[in-house]
Structure 1
Amino acid sequence: MAAPVDQSQQNFAAAPPAAAAPPQEKPAPAAAAGPANGPINDADIEDWKKRFNEVLAKPSEHVNSKSPATAQSWTNSLFGCFSPIDLCCMTWCLPCVTFGKTHHRVRKNGSMEGWEPINTSCLMFCASSCFALHWIPMSMQRADIRARYNLQGSCLVDIATACCCGLCDLVQAEKESEQREALLRSNGPAAEQYRPAEGMAYGPTA
């Protein structure tokens, strides 16, 4: 006579295997957070506001300013704006991009690290152009270039150049700043002659 089978063992043997848990989906990676203000940089806005306020505080002093007697000639001609052709075409089609590029090199980073084609200065140039006031930031930027690299010129010449030869002015400023920054980074003897030894000279005010 066969031995009786334990009922609990029968139930265990008859129980179907537990279904495997479905694989959990991995959460999608979070998108990289972009800049809060897009191309608008608060530091650039404050810098431009400060510069405009300085000019408005002493307008006659800035208008009569000129480079010191020890200033050097510009390496690039104002009317050499057709070369290189890519810079010429870019400036003709999108002058704001060239303006913003030069601004970044002269005032932020000579190696162009962190530069974006659409930036605060580019947009500010576009906005001022809508009211035919683009010559104001252009002449201010040209004055920056003269002061940084000890180049010849005056505020009145800067204004006249920006008003009468705007595209040529932008190309010349971009080429000059690119060349001068390359020389400054080289740390060679030739680079030292481009460092300004004196500040801007101001004419008598009324």
Structure 2
Amino acid sequence: MSDTWRNGLFSHVCGGDCGTCLGAWFCSPCLYGRAVNRYEKFPDTDKDHYDNVACNGPCWLFFGAGVCCGLQWIPLLFKRGEIRDRFGIRGDGCVDCLASFFCAPCALAQVETELKDRATAAQHGGAPPFGGDIKQGYAPPPQGMSYQPGAPTYQHGAPPYHQPGVPVHQ
């Protein structure tokens, strides 16, 4: 495993946007359900598939584990492990456990943001600013750029490619 989390546990103020932050703190079951849905449909980035997910099975699992038993950190712990395994992210279960137990909203926002960023990077071939190496960019012409005197030019009112000083035949 050689990759790292592209989004730190506390970076970008709880996920980088207000919606992720509020979802992580005040409606974490819904955000968890959306993150699981995003993970299962990876690398799909169609917002309609995630914004309209109200209450799915993972949402209810997270809700039940949290409200009934205070164990909402357990499904989050396992999802962090799955994400690390899938993307080759360095870390271990101990760090996942500590993050999920002591700061579940931050860990949940990190998971959601990580999945969004990696899906966007996959859709764009891994090109920055989404991370990864540049796969393709500007390639100069093989012969290089050069100016060739006497190349045809266009003058207003003249037929295309008329050279100055050369009579126009009509």
Interval of TM-score (by shorter of Structure 1 and Structure 2): 0.5 to 0.7
CA–CA distance in 2 between the matches of 1:189 and 1:77?
Answer: 20
Q: Cα RMSD over matched residues?
A: 2.3
Of residues 13, 17, 21, the one that matches 1:84 is: 17
Q: One-letter code of the match for 2:7?
A: N
1:123-134 pair list within 5 angstroms = 123-129=60-66, 130-134=68-72
CA–CA distance in 2 between the matches of 1:126 and 1:160?
Answer: 20
What percent of counterpart residues are identical? 26
- For residues 108-165 of structure 1, give each alpha carbon's deviation from its aligned partner in whole angstroms, at most 9, with x where no partner exists: 3432564422111001100011201211110110011111221111011111110001
Deviation, 1:189, is 6.3
Of residues 61, 65, 72, the one that matches 2:3 is: 72
5+ long unaligned stretches in structure 1: 1-67, 195-206
Deviation, 1:107, is 2.0
CA–CA distance in 1 between the matches of 2:109 and 2:131?
Answer: 24
Deviation, 1:193, is 5.5
- For residues 67-99 of structure 1, give each alpha carbon's deviation from its aligned partner in whole angstroms, at most 9, with x where no partner exists: x3xx21211111121631221112211001111
> Number of matched residues?
125
- The 1:193–1:138 alpha-carbon spacing in structure 2 relative to 1, beyond 3 Å, is same
Tell me the TM-score normalised to structure 1 length. 0.55
Tell me the TM-score normalised to structure 2 length. 0.65
1:73-152 pair list within 5 angstroms = 73-80=4-11, 81=14, 83-111=16-44, 114-115=49-50, 116-129=53-66, 130-152=68-90
Q: One-letter code of the match for 1:123?
A: W
Q: One-letter code of the match for 2:39?
A: V
- The 1:83–1:186 alpha-carbon spacing in structure 2 relative to 1, beyond 3 Å, is closer
- The 1:185–1:82 alpha-carbon spacing in structure 2 relative to 1, beyond 3 Å, is closer
Structure number, greater radius of gyration: 1
Aligned residue for 1:165?
103
5+ long unaligned stretches in structure 2: 134-170
User: 1:92·1:167 contact (CA, 8 Å) conserved in 2?
Assistant: yes
